[in-house]
C-alpha cells in the first residue's frame, strides 16, 4: 500500500488522500512469514465459544481482535480448530451420521482465513479433537468414535459431506493455510480404548484421511498432532514420534504437544532422529507450563525454556497454548487483554529472521 503521508512533489507537498475501501481491498497483500523458526499461538476456539465459534457464536470483531493481537504478540501463525464438536453439521439419527455442512459455517471459515491472510498470519487447521470425542455425550460421542473407527460408513460420510466441502473452501485460501491437523492428540482415543489395535487402528485412520485430503487438495501439508502418552508408550508423545507411530502415513510434518514447567521434553533426540529419517520437519504445536496456577514468572520461564530448547533441537517452530484469556493459567493475555510478561519472549523470538 502506498504511504498516504508521503508528500506529492508535483503539488507542493500536498498529502495524498487516504485510500478508499475499494483501493485497500485491491492493495497487494503482505508477504507470508518465512522465518527459520515460526512463532505461533493457539486460538483453538474463539473465546469461550467451544463448538460454536463458527456458527451461533461467530463474532467477526472478536476474530479480528484476536488476530491483531497475535501479530502484535510476535506471532507468525494461529492454530484453529473446526470440529471439536460437529458444529455446523447435520447429523442423522443412525450411521452414517454426517449428512451435510451448513454453508454459513463454510462462509465463516472462509472469512477467518481471509482475515488471517490480510495480516500475513499462517492458519494451522485442526479438524477433529480426540479428547472431545472420547468424553462428549451422545450423539456427538458416537459421531466421533464412528469416524475414528470407520463404523457404519461414518468416516466416508464425514469425508463426503463435511471434509470434502471444507477442502473446497481451503483450496480458495491455500496461500494462507500452513497445514491441516487431522485430529488433535489421537493418543486420547488409544488411552480410552477406542481401537482394539492401538497401533494399527489409529494409523489406518490417519493414512486414509491424509490420502482423502490430498486427493481433494494435493498442495495441502497434512499431519496429526501428538499429545499425551499413548497406551503402548508411556513416556510422552515425543516417544510415539520417535518409535515411528506417525511414520509411513503420508504425513508432511510432525506436531508435538508438551507441557512442562521447565520447558523440557526428554526423548526429543529420538524424535528428531526419526523425523530426519522420514525427511519431515517437526513443530511444537502446543506448549505451556504444566502447573495450573496463574503465575507470570512460571509462564515466563517455561516459555523461554521451551523456545530455546526447541530452537536448539530439530524443531522448526513453537506455538503457545493459548492466546486469549479463557484458560487463565495458560493464557498469554489477561482478562482485560493486556499482555502477560511471557509475550515479550514470544515477541523476541518472533522478530528473529
Residue 85 confidence (pLDDT) = 93
Residue 287 confidence (pLDDT) = 96
Beta strands in the chain, from DSSP E residues, in sequence order:
7-8, 14-15, 38-42, 77-83, 89-91, 98-101, 122-129, 177-184, 222-223, 254-259, 282-288, 315-321
Instruction: Report the SS3 class of residue 252.
Output: coil
Beta strands in 245-314, from DSSP E residues, in sequence order:
254-259, 282-288
Phi–psi pair at 79, nearest 5 degrees: -100, 130
Residue 235 confidence (pLDDT) = 63
Q: What is the pLDDT along the chain (353 residues), one digit of tens a residue?
A: 333 332 233 333 334 455 555 555 567 999 999 999 999 999 999 999 999 999 999 999 999 999 999 999 999 999 999 999 999 999 998 889 999 999 999 999 999 999 999 999 999 999 999 999 887 666 667 899 999 999 999 999 999 999 999 999 999 999 999 999 999 999 999 888 899 998 999 999 999 999 999 999 999 999 999 987 554 445 678 999 999 999 999 999 999 999 999 998 888 899 999 999 999 999 999 999 999 999 999 999 999 999 999 999 999 999 999 999 999 999 999 999 999 999 999 999 999 99
> Which superfamily, per CATH, for 40-350?
Glycosidases (3.20.20.80)
Locus of grid cell 465463516: 108
Q: What is the length of the chain?
A: 353
Got the DSSP string for 206-222? HHHHHHHHHHH-TT--E
Nearest to 90 by CA among 104, 80, 100, 82: 100
Residue 6 confidence (pLDDT) = 29
Residue 334 cell numbers, joined = 489477561
Residue 101 confidence (pLDDT) = 98
Give the whole-angstrom CA distance, residue 176 versus residue 220: 11
Residue 93 confidence (pLDDT) = 87
Q: Are 141 and 192 in contact (CB under 8 A)?
A: no
Parallel, antiparallel or unpaired: strands 14-15 and 7-8: antiparallel
Give the whole-angstrom CA distance, residue 63 versus residue 323: 12
Phi–psi pair at 321, nearest 5 degrees: -105, 120
Residue 142 cell numbers, joined = 458416537
**Which residues, 6+ apart, have CB-to-CB distance to 120 below 8 Å?**
29, 30, 31, 32, 33, 71
Per-residue CA distances from 191 to 120, 202, 302 (Å): 38, 12, 27
Evaluate if pTM is beyond 0.85. yes
Instruction: Report the SS3 class of residue 275.
Output: helix
Under DSSP, the state recorded for 16 is P
Nearest to 112 by CA among 37, 28, 203, 173: 173
In the chain, the largest separation of any two C-alpha atoms, in whole Å, equals 79
Sheet with 315-321, side-by-side order of all strands = 222-223, 177-184, 122-129, 77-83, 38-42, 315-321, 282-288, 254-259
Amino acid at each position: 500500500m502506498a504511504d498516504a503521508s508521503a508528500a506529492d512533489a508535483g503539488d507542493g507537498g500536498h498529502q495524498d488522500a487516504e485510500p478508499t475501501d475499494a483501493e485497500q481491498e485491491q492493495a497487494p497483500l503482505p508477504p507470508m512469514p518465512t522465518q527459520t523458526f515460526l512463532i505461533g499461538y493457539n486460538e483453538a476456539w474463539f473465546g469461550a465459544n467451544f463448538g460454536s465459534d463458527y456458527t451461533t457464536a461467530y463474532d467477526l470483531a472478536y476474530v479480528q481482535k484476536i488476530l491483531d493481537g497475535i501479530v502484535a504478540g510476535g506471532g507468525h501463525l494461529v492454530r484453529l480448530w473446526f470440529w471439536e464438536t460437529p458444529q455446523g453439521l447435520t447429523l442423522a439419527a443412525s450411521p452414517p451420521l454426517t449428512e451435510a455442512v451448513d454453508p454459513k459455517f463454510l462462509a465463516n471459515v472462509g472469512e477467518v482465513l481471509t482475515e488471517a491472510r490480510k495480516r500475513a498470519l499462517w492458519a494451522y487447521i485442526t479438524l477433529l479433537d480426540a479428547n472431545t470425542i472420547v468424553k462428549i455425550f451422545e450423539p456427538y460421542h458416537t459421531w466421533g468414535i464412528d469416524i475414528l473407527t470407520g463404523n457404519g460408513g461414518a468416516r466416508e460420510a464425514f469425508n463426503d459431506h463435511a471434509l470434502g466441502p471444507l477442502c473446497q473452501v481451503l483450496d480458495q485460501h491455500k496461500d494462507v493455510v500452513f497445514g491441516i491437523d487431522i485430529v488433535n492428540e489421537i493418543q486420547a482415543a488409544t488411552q480410552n480404548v477406542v481401537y482394539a489395535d492401538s497401533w494399527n487402528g489409529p494409523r489406518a485412520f490417519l493414512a486414509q484421511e491424509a490420502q482423502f485430503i490430498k486427493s481433494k487438495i494435493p498442495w495441502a501439508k497434512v499431519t496429526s498432532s501428538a499429545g499425551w502418552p499413548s497406551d503402548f508408550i508411556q513416556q510422552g508423545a515425543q516417544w510415539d514420534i520417535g518409535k515411528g507411530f506417525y511414520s509411513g502415513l503420508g504425513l508432511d510434518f510432525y506436531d508435538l504437544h508438551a507441557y512442562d514447567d521447565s520447558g523440557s521434553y526428554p526423548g526429543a533426540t529420538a524424535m528428531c532422529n526419526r523425523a530426519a529419517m522420514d525427511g519431515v520437519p517437526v513443530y511444537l504445536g502446543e506448549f505451556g507450563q504444566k502447573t495450573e496456577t496463574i503465575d507470570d514468572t512460571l509462564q515466563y520461564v517455561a516459555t523461554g525454556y521451551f523456545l530455546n530448547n526447541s530452537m536448539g533441537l530439530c524443531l522448526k517452530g513453537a506455538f503457545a497454548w493459548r492466546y486469549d484469556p479463557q484458560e487463565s493459567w495458560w493464557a498469554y493475555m489477561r482478562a482485560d487483554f493486556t499482555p502477560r510478561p511471557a509475550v515479550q519472549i514470544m515477541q523476541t523470538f518472533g522478530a528473529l529472521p
